[in-house]
Amino acid sequence: MYFIIIGTMRRLCALICFFIVISCNSVSFCQGFSAGFFSGVNISDIHGNSYFGKWKFKPGPVQGIFIDFNPGKILGFSTGMNYSTNYYEHKSYIENIYPAVEFTFSSSSFIPIYYSPVEVMDFSFITIPAQLKFTIPSKPALTLSPGIFWSFVQDYNVNNNFRYEPSKSDFGFIYSAGLSYPVSRDLDILLRVRYLIGRKDFYESVNYRHGSFDLNLGVSFSGFFEKTGESPDIKVETDTADGRLNLVYFAGTALSWNSHGREGGNYSSSLGPSAGFRINIPISKKTEFRTGISFEQTGYTLNDSSDVFYGYNIVDEAKYLVDTRTTIDYIEIPASLKFNIGRRNRFFINTGPYLAVKLNTRTAGEAFSEEENSSTFRIVKNVIYDDIERLVRDNDTGWAFGTGLTIPLFGKYNAEVGLLYKTGFRDVFDATLFSGTNLYDNKKTVIRNRSLTVHLGFKVPVSR
């Protein structure tokens, strides 16, 4: 495997260098051109429904080369190639290994096929992304890059219960964010996070899709095509933090719960992380437009009798006593107005809509059931770790109300303490998948997202 990776990366380097030479045939075209390489670790994150076991998050390598074209300070385009390996491992809830087909012990010529309680799937890819690149020119500069990708399987190793071959290609969405710090006029150090989610099932009739999250370090060089002796001075000016364009990096904790429109179900709240950034764009002296991107985890807990693990649902007699926690991971984009209060604008309130794009959905916890026959009775404890991604809508929309305080630190930098309440507009579960159940009796709401977030942020001015 080591020699395969080295050989693949050499071919990638040759292809990228060839592309650079043939595409950049004029100095004027290449003034906004930069290229570099990166290396890091990815965490596998397979997508799909799984009710019979637990998927493990396993690390793997990722390395590659990128090409950026930035005609201006803010908008650009990024592509390249990278080599990565995703390691998937699934452990079944079933302790014993059962035969896959029925057979009789009297048959000496028949060899039964057994289900394995542990499924292992390893895939190595070459991935080609195509992303728009938005740069916020602070120091360090913040970049956001949504886009699409194509990937091609170079090697794979599977040990599972499927008798057919996996797909050799994939297509999906990629989201990345990073920080870039200049160490010289032409050389930057990069720290990036990326999230990739495939849109194609890689096994027929099985709703498994590739996915991964990676963290990588890299370098970017932009001085390929400058004439000898050119050394223009680049001055970077920053807007003041008071009434000017500014950036807030924040992290906090969200207390979330569900709102259900009918009686039944002993639901309670759940804690989850919240982290990201906000950019404040001035409209007037007291008003700013606030947007950004953040990772948000919402959820709820259920402690009640039910036929399913993720919600309150009883048809005749409950099968389980459920004690579970359901979480939904989102990438969230707000669009709100921020109103500064006071002579020095220390206090603020903000309100506006938001869009949340789903990443993952899981139910974890315990469920107890009773088993009884003519001579015995026992209580069975079931450990739950189910992926229920396809039961939940791909996105959520809602409205947010917040307030906070800005605290001066040093120079033009400030701290920000805030409180934010959010309410979703619609059910997070897809009602079309629950026909024939009483989860959606009388078309009333089952679950809507509600959350209250406390966050601490660091406010920095943005360069012009």
Residue 407, domain member (yes or no)? yes
Do 212 and 330 share a domain, yes or no? no
Q: Please tell me whether residue 278 adopts helix, strand or coil conformation.
A: strand
Domain boundary among 221, 236, 264: 221
Q: What is the pTM of this model?
A: 0.75
Residue with tokens 């071959």: 165
Do 274 and 400 share a domain, yes or no? yes
Which CATH number is 38's domain given?
2.40.160.20
Tokens encoding 217: 């370090």
Do 283 and 399 share a domain, yes or no? yes
Residue 97, domain member (yes or no)? yes
Residues with Cβ within 8 Å of residue 351, at least 6 apart in sequence: 336, 337, 399, 400, 401, 402
Q: Note whether 100 and 114 are within 8 A (CB).
A: yes
Chain center to CA of 84: 18
Do 202 and 289 share a domain, yes or no? no
The pLDDT value recorded for residue 406 is: 92
Chain center to CA of 453: 19
Burial class (CB in 10 A: 0-12, 13-18, 19+), 426: middle
Residue 93, domain member (yes or no)? yes
Count, in order, helices (H) and strands (E) of the chain: 1, 20
Do 191 and 299 share a domain, yes or no? no
Query: What are the φ and ψ backbone dihedral angles of 8, each rounded to 5 degrees?
Result: -65, -45
Whole domain around residue 429: which residue ranges?
246-461
Dist. CA 179–CA 192, nearest whole Å:
6
Do 86 and 178 share a domain, yes or no? yes
**pLDDT, tens digit only, all 464 positions of the chain:** 444 444 555 555 555 454 445 444 444 445 578 999 999 999 998 887 766 677 888 899 999 999 999 887 788 999 999 999 999 988 776 654 444 444 444 444 444 444 556 788 899 999 999 999 988 877 788 888 989 999 999 999 888 767 778 899 999 999 999 999 999 888 999 999 999 999 888 887 777 889 999 999 999 998 765 554 454 444 545 444 344 778 899 999 999 987 765 555 688 899 999 999 898 989 988 899 999 999 999 999 988 888 888 888 777 788 889 999 999 999 999 999 999 998 888 899 999 999 999 988 989 999 888 888 778 888 888 888 888 888 888 899 999 999 999 999 887 889 999 999 999 998 888 777 665 555 555 455 568 899 999 999 999 887 65
Question: How many domains in the chain?
Answer: 2
Tokens encoding 237: 């000016």
Q: Note whether 187 and 221 are within 8 A (CB).
A: yes
DSSP conformation class of 356: E
